Every structure is written in C-alpha cells, then in structure tokens.
Amino acid sequence: MLTVPVETQLLFAGILFLLGLIGLLVRRNMIFMLMSIEIMFNSAGLAFIIAGTRWKQPDGQVMFIFILAVTAVEVAIGLALILQVYHHYKTLDADAVNRLNDSNNI
Amino acid sequence: MIKFIALIPAIPFLGFLILAIFGQKLTRRSAGLIGAGSIGIVAILTLIIGIGFIGSLPDVKSYSVVVWKWINAGNLSADISFSLDSLSMVFCFVITFVGFLIHIYSIEFMKNDEGFTRFFAYMNLFVGSMLVLVLADNILLMYLGWEGVGLCSYLLIGFWYKDPANGHAARKAFIITRIGDTAMIIGIFILFLNFGTFNINELMLQASEKWVSGSSIAVLTAALLLCGALGKSAQLPLQTWLPDAMAGPSPVSALIHAATMVTAGVYLIARTHVLFSIAPIVQAAIAIIGALTLLIAGFSALVQHDLKRILAYSTISQIGYMFLALGVGAWSAAVFHFMIHAFFKALLFLGAGIIILVLNEEHNIFRMGGLRKKLPVVFITFLIGSASLSALPFITAGFYSKDQILWYAYSSRNGSILLWVAGIVGALLTALYSFRMIFITFYGETKTEPAFKPGKLMTVPLIILAVLSLVAGFVELPGSIGNFHLFSKLVENTLPTVTLKSNENLEFLFQVLSSIIALSGIYLAYLIYYKKPALAEPFNQSKLNKFFEKGWGFDKLYDTLIVRPIVWLSVIDKADFFNWWSVGLSKLALLTNQLLGITQNGKLRWYLMSFVIGIALILTYMLFK
Amino acid sequence: MNVFFYIAASVAIISTIMAISGRNAIHSLLYLILSLLAISVVFYLLDAPFVAALEVIIYAGAIMVLFIFVTMMLNIGQERKTEKKWLNPRMWIIPSLLAGILLVDLILALKNITTITVTNQSILPKQVGISLFSTYLIAVEIAGILLMAGVIGAYHLGSQKKKVTHRFLEKK
C-alpha cells in the first residue's frame, strides 16, 4: 500500500495542472491549447482518484469516469471546431480569430 | 348670470384641452365644430352677460368673481379672479364675436391643411388667454394672459413650421414682444413693492393717493408699462415684428395681429389710465409715439408689394391712432376706434386670405388684378372694408371713430395742432394706400386667374363684418350730426371723459376737413394707380421708395445695433468655462470607453491571461486572509 | 511501493514538460501519451486498477488518437518555423510566474490537511460498478446523453458544406 503522504500526491496533481495551465497560456497553436486543456482535465481526475483513495470510497473513481466522458465529448467537439476554423482562416493561430473585438484603437 | 363670467375664459381653454389631448382621434368636422363652437358659445354667453350688465348700469359699474386662490406666499397673494366692467365688456364682445366669425372662416380656409386640429387648439388657447387678459382682476393674472397671447402668437405665426422662414418670423415676434414684456413685469414689480397688492383697482386707487403727479417713480412705472404696451401693439420702436408676422395663416393675422392681440397694449393703458394721468410726461409720450408711428407706418404701407404687408403696416398705423387718442386723454374714442378697427381690419385680412388662397399663394399685388368680376363678394366686402379704413364720410363706421380721434387730437386739453396735422396726413396716406390696394388688386387686367370660388363659410363672415363696418359707427354720432353717444356713455362708466379746450363748435369744421382729405386721397389713388400709372413711376424707382419699403430702415438698424453684436458675442463665447464642463464630461466618457475597450480585443489568450491573473490574486488573497 | 510512485510521478511531469514545450505537434502528442501512461501507473498504485485501465484505453487510446488523427489531417507537423517564431523564451516568463504563485498557494493550502491513515483495502471495480449504477444512475444516463450530443455536434460541426458557385461565376 502506498504510504506517500496525501499532500505530496495532491501536490503532484497540482503540478500537473499548473503545467497544463502554463501550456495553455504560452502556446499559440490551437491544437496545443486543446492539448493543454486535456492535461488539466487529467490532473483534475487524478486529484479525484487521490481523494477517493484517501477516503476509501468509490465515488472518486465514479467521478473520474464522468470526467472522462466529458473530456471525450469536449475533445470531439473542440477538434471539429478547430477543423472549421482552419478551413475558414487557413491557420491555427489563436490570435487570428479576433473578430469579436470591441476596442476603438486609441 | 353675472357669476358665469368665469366661464367666458374657461370654455376656450376647455376647447383647447379637448383638441390638444384628443386631437389625433377627432375628425376634421368635429375638430372644427369644437374649435369654432367653443368660441360661439362664449360669444353667446358674452352677449347674454353683456345685456344683463348693461341693464344694471349705472348702478353697478363692475362685477368681480373670485374663482380660486392662485398664489399665497407671505404677503404676496394673487387670485384667479375676473371682473367685468364696461371696458372689458367691449373688449370681450369684440374678441368673442370677431373671433367666432374668424373661426368659422378658418374651418373652410384650413380645410386642406394637415395641421387642422392643431390650428384650432392654438386658436382656442389664444382666445382663452386674451379673455383672461381683458377680464383679469389683478395685474398678475393679466400678465398671465399677456404671456399666453404672446405664446400663441409665436405658435401661430410659425404654424407652417416646415418652412424655416416662418420659424424665424415667429422668433422675431416673440423676442421683440419679450423686450416689452420684461419692462412690463418690472413695472408690475415696482407697483407691488410700493403697494403690496396686485389688484388693479386697488393699485390705481393707491397710486392716485400716494404718488405725486409727475414724480419720478410714477413716471418710471408708467414708462415701463408703456414699453410693455409698445411691444405687444407694435408701436415705435418695437414695431418691426408685425410685418414679418404675416407669415402665419390669414385667419391668424386677422384675429391676432389685427383685432385682438395687438390691441392688448391699448387695453393695458386704458385699464391703468390713472397711472398715466399722474405721469403726464408719459402720456404725452404716448401721443407722440402714436403720431410718429402712424406716419411711419402709413408711408411704409404706401409702397409695399405684398398684400398682407400693406395690411400689417396699416394695422400699425391704426393702432398709432388709438395710441394718439390715449395720449390726449380721449379714452372712449380710443376704445371706439379699437372696436371699429377690429371689424374692418379683420374683414380686410379675411378677404386678403381668400384672394391669396384662390390665387395659389400669390402675395404680390402687382401679379393680381381684375378680380372685381371674378370674385364679386370679396370685392364688395373688401371695398367696404377699405372705405371704412379710409374713413369715407358718413356712411362708414371708420369715419365716426377716426374723426373723433382727430377732433380730440386737436381739442383735448393735452392735444395740439401738431398732433392733428399728423393725424390728418395719416388719414390722407390711409386713403391713398388702401385704395391703391383696391385699384391694383381688383381693377385692371387679370394677371393670375382664381382657381376656385370661395365657399359660404368664408364669405358669410365677410358679409357680416362688412355690414358691421358700415353700421357699427352709428352707436356714436358726434354732436354735429346726431349727438347720439351710446358708446361713450357706456365706456365712460369706467373711463373718464375727455376734457376739452374751450372751442367745441369747431367740431363740424374739422369733420368737413377730414372728409375732404379722405375723398381727395381716394381720388389721388384713382389718378395715380388706375388712370395714369406713369405718374407714380419716378417715385417707384426712387431711393425713398426703397427706404419706405424696408420699414424706414428699423430692421437694419436693430440688426446692426443689437443682433449682430449679440451673435458675435455668443460665437466668441462658444468655448467658455461652462461649456468645458459639458464637453469635458462627454470626452471623459469617450476616453473611458476607449480605455476599457482595450480589454475587449477579441484575443483568446488575452482573456485567459486575465482569468489566471484573477485566480492567482483571489487565491492569494484568500489564503493570506 | 513509494519509490514507484515517485518514479512514475517524475516521468509524468517530465514528459508533460516536453509535451507543452515541443515544436513538433506529433512529438508533443506522443510525449503526452507517455505522460498519461505514467499517470495510469500512479492510478494503479493508488488502488484503482479499473480506472488505470480506463485511463489507458479511453484517454490515451481514444482521445489522444483522435488528436493525432486531426493533427495528421491538418498536416501541421511540418510547420516548425511558425511554432519556433511563436515560442520564444520570453513568452514563458509571465505564465511561469503566475503558475509559481499558484504553486506556492497550493503548497501553503496543503499544509493544513491531516495525514493519511494506512489501511489495506483496495477498491474493486465491483464496488465502483455498484456505486455507478445505483447511486449515480442519473448521472450515467446524462453522461450518455452528453455523449450522444457530442457525437451529433461533432458530426455537424465537422461537415464542410461545399461552396456552390453559379456556373457563370466560376473562374475558368
């Protein structure tokens, strides 16, 4: 049985999450941004499993299964949207899709 | 019946409210019915009350009815109260009766206009305000009516608001009369400060007791009130607005700028005659202003091309006669001339309205002509009106009223031979320009064909007014002809009799003289404008002609002296301190918009960054709390 | 047993770092799959064998494969230059700073929880299944509907309408 302290485990999940966050902020390619979001989802699931193990209940794993379902759907739809954007703008630059802007250019 | 005096101004106001609130839903027919009907009811009411009032003379000279308390602040109190005496009765009668005829005329005149209901709403408001003015018991209520008629004058002159020139004329009228109104309210303030009341009878009583005749305060107050009268009645120097006010529809010109509003000044001076009696300098000034105005306007009327402008200058001139009469103390003569003038001037304006309407808005008399056979009813009534205006001897009412004024101008204690000369020259001019108008418009060859014949609703009021212009004079026959003084006996219940110098028996001579002048004026007009138009040619081309036509240059004078400096001042003052505040506020809003707009640049990563910064801040804050 | 945890954890972290900082899309995705496998090991160590299997099958096996398919379809692996231009080191400073702040917050927050009590009970898939289909039945159904929505949405969003220009407007 694992005797690693829960804090360390949660810290591990947190570090993974933060790495995903950094990836999201830094990268400009939309595929990479989506990938970073995946990392974040995964680390959240990991945190749930850790909690479930800590409290000795199956609820953590149940939650992870649901997160998995949501992630799958989200990736599918996200990639479909990225395909549409690519066919329209011919680029995967996240800064290219800024038509919803409202600034008046001082 | 007397307690129904309050209904007299109330019914037109009610008519105004109905037309203003429900105007959109009313048909033309019902709007006309309400508009003219309300004035008709008031006319009948006035008649009934008038008969009752006359019957009770000479025991009771005036009736007062308090309707409600208006202002009650400390020792300043004014009521809505109306009082009826012979002066206000004469005015009420003229306003309601002539007003009723004009409203009937307007039903047909304005029948194709899109602002039909609005017109009747304004006209009713006007008649209501004018009745408040003449029936008011206290001077503050009279000022309310005064302002009300000023407002309606503005609204009705600029009735056809889509043409900016009409709006300009309306503004000019309003601003110039405003100058007079300001002087008047200052005068009212002085009266209140000194006597603590607004009631006119009270004021007059106390003024005659406490103020010394000729003292500076009496002169000041009288002069201020006089300025108010000058503005409303378009006398020198505030006469420039009336010719431009002809931009309004002809019924408006007839009602407001001929018969009623412009005589409000006459009413004011007659009402406060005690004040003017104790300021003889001001009264003399009234006479001189009247004499000068009637001459200036008479010369101007002689050279106008626009039919309505001739009549406008004629109105200014005739009111000059009324002021002349007031100035020499012939109070009842002034009121008599007011009544007769209302009849024939309204008639002339209504007739001019018909002519302009059937000739498709043609105003220039030199493009009319030969209408004698084409519009017979209009011609005959117009002829009668002009004859009355020129004071054709014995048969027209104008003769009796104008003649009285001319006689008193010489023979009254305040009168002089100079005033009489001015009056008689004015009479010659009057005959000259009115028959010039007749000969050029109705005789000769037709230059513009009438498009249609006027209907009954337009011609019947003309006929009624024409009849009145002939017979209404017979209520006041001078001593040498019939010695029948019905009118002056009525008015002298309120106004004092004129005091004469000693030579009464010259009256007949003066009458003969004025008859000769009137007839020779008509003959001259016939010669110059009908028989041999070439005689007038050198004068027509002269510079003097242009000078007269432009109203003796008063417009230009005021423009250079007053209008231009004010416009210049306001232009250079455009960006002053107060402007900075309002402009600054809008600039601040724009700046904030631009600043905040930076945060909405549509870039996803920017938004994400702001999320994360926010989260970091909040979590750190919560952790360290 | 603990040492396996630490090894798997460090593998996961390193491969994640390689994934987010890579220039080639395919390489990044492969690194990510590696990271997911490491996390699956961690799951197994955490007495959740069913979930570990699920992670490999669904997450690494389906979702990441989907990513790879789309990446290959869009053929972005070749664009190394743009990626290089967009990924200068200067860009990393502020996100790292923010992540660092959040990490500090996390550590400080974690100091306050109690330590684990050791037991020898593993959570079997049977337990998970029973819990799933009794307590969380509605959520399962909703997840099913969500998946259906996802399928239909992806189908619609992914279809490209052929732009039909009139034959007179076609460029010859």
Q: Are B510 and B410 in contact (CB under 8 A)?
A: yes
Is residue B519 scored above 80 in pLDDT?
Answer: yes
Residue B130 belongs to some domain of the structure? no
Is residue C78 scored above 70 in pLDDT?
Answer: no
Radius of gyration over alpha carbons of chain B, in Å? 29
Instruction: Read off the pLDDT of residues B108-139 as tens digits, 9 standing for 90 and up.
Output: 898 888 888 999 999 999 999 999 999 998 89
Cα first-last separation, chain A: 62
Q: Which residue has the tokens 């902020």?
A: A25
How many CB contacts within 8 angstroms connect chain A with chain B? 42
Instruction: Read off the pLDDT of residues B402-445 as tens digits, 9 standing for 90 and up.
Output: 888 888 888 877 778 888 889 999 999 999 999 988 888 888 78
Mean pLDDT of B525-538: 76
Same domain assignment for residues B416 and B525? yes
Same domain assignment for residues B590 and B495? no
Alpha-helix residue ranges (DSSP H) falling in B527-576:
537-541, 543-549, 554-558, 564-572
Q: Is B329 left (phi over 0), alpha (psi -120 to 50) or beta?
A: left
Q: Give the domain range for residue B557.
A: 549-574
Q: What is the pLDDT of residue B174?
A: 92
Rounded to the nearest angstrom, the gap between the alpha carbon of residue B19 and the centroid of all alpha carbons in its chain is 23
pLDDT band at A106 (very low <50, low <70, confident <90, very high): low
Q: How far is CA C12 from CA A9, B516, C29, in A?
A: 13, 128, 13
Same domain assignment for residues B355 and B478? yes
Instruction: Give the residue on B whose Cα is nearest the Cα of A28.
Output: B605
Q: What is the pLDDT of residue B487?
A: 77
Same domain assignment for residues B373 and B468? yes
Q: What is the pLDDT of residue B459?
A: 87
Write the DSSP string, B365-424.
GGG---HHHHSHHHHHHHHHHHHHHTT-TTTSHHHHHHHHHHHHHHHBTT--HHHHHHHH
Query: How many CA atoms, within 13 angstroms, populate the side-chain half-sphere of residue C134?
Result: 8
Residue B459 belongs to some domain of the structure? yes
Rounded to 5 degrees, φ, ψ at A4 are -70, 135
Rounded-to-integer distance, Cα C130 and Cα C123, Å: 12
* Domain annotation for chain A: domains and CATH numbers: 30-91 (1.10.287.3510)
Rounded-to-integer distance, Cα B296 and Cα B302, Å: 10
Q: Where are the domains of chain C?
A: 2-158
Q: Which of B335, B304, B532 is nearest to B429 (CA)?
A: B304
Q: Do A2 and C47 touch (CB under 8 A)?
A: yes
Same domain assignment for residues B401 and B494? yes
Instruction: Give the residue on C whose Cα is nearest the Cα of B620.
Output: C105
Using CB atoms, pick whichever of A21, A28, A104 lies closest to residue B597. A104
Same domain assignment for residues B393 and B486? yes
Rounded-to-integer distance, Cα C115 and Cα C10, Å: 22
Same domain assignment for residues B397 and B501? yes
Q: What is the pLDDT of residue C116?
A: 59
**Shortest CA gap C64–chain A (Å):** 9
Name chain C contacts of A56, Cβ cutoff 8 Å.
119, 121, 123
Q: Do A103 and B598 touch (CB under 8 A)?
A: yes
Q: Which of B418, B411, B383, B387 is nearest to B400 (CA)?
A: B387
How many CB contacts within 8 angstroms connect chain B with chain C? 18
pLDDT band at C79 (very low <50, low <70, confident <90, very high): low
Q: Are B264 and B232 in contact (CB under 8 A)?
A: yes
Same domain assignment for residues B482 and B586? no
Same domain assignment for residues B426 and B564? no
> What ipTM did this prediction achieve?
0.89
Same domain assignment for residues B434 and B377? yes
Mean pLDDT of B498-509: 72
Q: Which residue has the tokens 């996961």?
A: C12
- What residues contact residue C54 under an 8 Å CB cut-off, 6+ apart? A64, A65, A68
Name chain A contacts of C107, Cβ cutoff 8 Å.
11
Q: Do C48 and A87 touch (CB under 8 A)?
A: no
Using CB atoms, pick whichever of C94, C98, C105 lies closest to residue B623. C105
Name chain A contacts of C1, Cβ cutoff 8 Å.
1-3
Helix (H) or strand (E) holding B72: strand B62-73
Q: What is the pLDDT of residue B2?
A: 67
**Shortest CA gap B616–chain A (Å):** 12
Is residue A42 scored above 90 in pLDDT?
Answer: yes
Structure tokens at B427: 């009479």
Mean pLDDT of A30-45: 94
Q: Do C105 and B609 touch (CB under 8 A)?
A: no
For the structural domain made of C2-158, what CATH number should be given? 1.20.120.1200
Q: What pTM was estimated for this model as a whole? A: 0.71
The 3-state DSSP class for residue C141 equals helix
Mean pLDDT in chain C? 85
Instruction: Read off the pLDDT of residues B331-382 as tens digits, 9 standing for 90 and up.
Output: 888 889 999 999 999 999 999 999 998 888 888 888 888 888 888 889 999 9
Mean pLDDT in chain B? 87
Q: Do C101 and B609 touch (CB under 8 A)?
A: no
Q: Please give the residue that has the higher pLDDT: either B92 or B536.
A: B92
Helix (H) or strand (E) holding B468: helix B456-471
Mean pLDDT of C104-115: 80
Q: What is the pLDDT of residue B396?
A: 84
Mean pLDDT of B583-597: 89
Structure tokens at B486: 């019905």
Residue B358 belongs to some domain of the structure? yes
Quick one: chain C helix, strand, coil %, rounded to 5? 75, 0, 25
**Shortest CA gap A99–chain B (Å):** 6
Mean pLDDT of C146-150: 94
Q: Do C98 and B612 touch (CB under 8 A)?
A: yes
**Best mean pLDDT range from B158-172, B488-502, C158-172:** B158-172
Q: C98 touching B, CB under 8 A?
A: yes
Is residue B165 scored above 70 in pLDDT?
Answer: yes
Rounded-to-integer distance, Cα B400 and Cα B19, Å: 41
Same domain assignment for residues B371 and B489? yes
Q: Which residues are registered as beta bridge partners of B68? A: B80
Same domain assignment for residues B428 and B394? yes
Instruction: Give the residue on B whose Cα is nearest the Cα of C105.
Output: B620
Residue B187 belongs to some domain of the structure? no
Q: Which of B196, B193, B194, B191 is nearest to B272 (CA)?
A: B191
Cα first-last separation, chain C: 71
Residue B349 belongs to some domain of the structure? yes
Name chain B contacts of A97, Cβ cutoff 8 Å.
602, 604
Optimal mutation site among B587, B596, B598, interface A, most CBs of chain A within 10 A = B598
Is residue C34 scored above 80 in pLDDT?
Answer: yes
Q: Are C35 and C12 in contact (CB under 8 A)?
A: yes
**Shortest CA gap B613–chain C (Å):** 7
Q: Which of B184, B116, B120 is nearest to B150 (CA)?
A: B184
Domain tally, chain B: 3
